[in-house]
Structure 1
Amino acid sequence: MRKGWSGRRIEGTLPDNQMNGIFRALDTNGDGKLSRKELKVGLKSFGLRFAGVRAKRAIRHVDANGDGMISEDEIDELTKYASKWRI
């Protein structure tokens, strides 16, 4: 088990502003964009199944400029899209 990981799922849903902050924190290389890999790792940490598929679909859904990444401007749309996952 990973250090600091409780293995418990989050009950209920998070407020949008909190989810936005969490998604921004997933930008591990600090380039201001979320890659598919960064998003996948983050979704796995939430305990979501099929994190790779969900990350791919999320990017396809919210990537308005077509660069294959989720930029700062697209985080709000990612939050709306991810709210159906009950995070």
Structure 2
Amino acid sequence: MDQFDAAAAYKDDKPSATWQEISNAFDIPKTTLFGRLTGRHTSHEGAAKKRLSEAQEKVLVSKINQYASFNILLTPKEVRGIAEMLAGEKLGVNWVS
């Protein structure tokens, strides 16, 4: 059982306990605790959405900067095209926003 599970069990046992009390008792930031236990976000929410690795992101930024150094600004469609080549898969139309 991790600290979030223990905090959730504590909140279930003592529904009148405030988020601040639980935060202090389990040494978890109050906003993180509230978000996790109310389902607003998960511990891996951001990681699940990533379509490019850190290295691929760096290559993408480098390419964008390379074009910009020649005063060529890429459209979102062009950026998505480069990202798709790097990722080796098709990305959604809303990937670049």
TM-score, with normalisation over the residues of structure 2? 0.29
Pick 1 or 2: higher relative contact order, CA cutoff 8 A, min separation 6: 1
Structure with bigger helix share is 2
TM-score, with normalisation over the residues of structure 1? 0.31
